[in-house]
């Protein structure tokens, strides 16, 4: 009986852990609360910051979805040895392209933020981004 229980637990464990993983909406609401607290924006600054931030998130999400779709097709390939050199090169350069496009988005919105807000506020935003990533990872680790 113990072995049966143990086997059932082992089969259910991945789905239990997956269910405890924070969802996209939950993460976004945590991020908004975190940024609101860390940035301490005035009402005027908030009116400028949040639309820029939302536009940036929308563009980044579009790029991530496109990249994810490309990665799915890459994962379907059984072995890299079965691909031609041109196909492998295409996959690698495609990844470089996504990274460059992501960097271009970062720069684009950095300049938008910099032109609309004090540079120290922009600096706080980038610092808060990194702090939020660390906090999210810590929360995820603590739940496991």
Query: What is the tens place of the pLDDT at every residue in 2-20?
Result: 544 444 445 554 544 444 5
Instruction: Tell me which of 46 and 144 has the higher pLDDT.
Output: 46
Where along the chain do its domains lie? 23-143
pLDDT exceeds 50 at position 82: yes
Read off the pLDDT of each residue in 70-83 and give the average, rounded to a whole number.
70
Read off the pLDDT of each residue in 63-69 and give the average, rounded to a whole number.
89
Read off the pLDDT of each residue in 118-126 and give the average, rounded to a whole number.
96
Read off the pLDDT of each residue in 122-135 and give the average, rounded to a whole number.
94
Can you tell me whether residue 84 is helix, strand or coil?
Answer: coil
Query: Looking at residue 78, what is its pLDDT?
Result: 63
Nearest C-alpha neighbor of 131 from the set 144, 46, 123:
123
Positive or negative: CA dihedral 51, 52, 56, 57: negative
Q: Are 110 and 122 in contact (CB under 8 A)?
A: yes
Query: Looking at residue 144, what is its pLDDT?
Result: 63
Mean of per-residue pLDDT scores for the chain: 83
Structure tokens at 16: 């239990």
CA 126 centroid distance within chain:
14
User: Angle, nearest 10°, between helix axes 119-143 and 43-75?
Assistant: 50
Q: What is the 3-state composition of the chain as percent helix, strand, coil, each rounded to the nearest 5? A: 90, 0, 10
CA atoms of 78 and 14, how far apart (whole Å):
24
């Amino acid at each position: 009986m113990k072995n049966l229980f143990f086997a059932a637990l082992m089969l259910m464990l991945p789905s239990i852990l997956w269910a405890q993983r924070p969802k996209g909406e939950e993460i976004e609401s945590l991020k908004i609360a975190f940024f609101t607290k860390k940035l301490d924006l005035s009402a005027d600054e908030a009116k400028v910051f949040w639309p820029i931030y939302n536009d940036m998130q929308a563009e980044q999400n579009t790029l991530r979805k496109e990249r994810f779709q490309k990665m799915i097709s890459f994962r379907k390939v059984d072995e890299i040895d079965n691909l031609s050199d041109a196909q492998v090169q295409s996959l690698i350069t495609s990844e470089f392209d996504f990274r460059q496009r992501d960097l271009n988005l970062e720069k684009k919105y950095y300049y938008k933020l910099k032109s609309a807000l004090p540079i120290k506020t922009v600096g706080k935003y980038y610092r808060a981004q990194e702090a939020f990533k660390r906090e999210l990872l810590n929360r995820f680790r603590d739940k496991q």
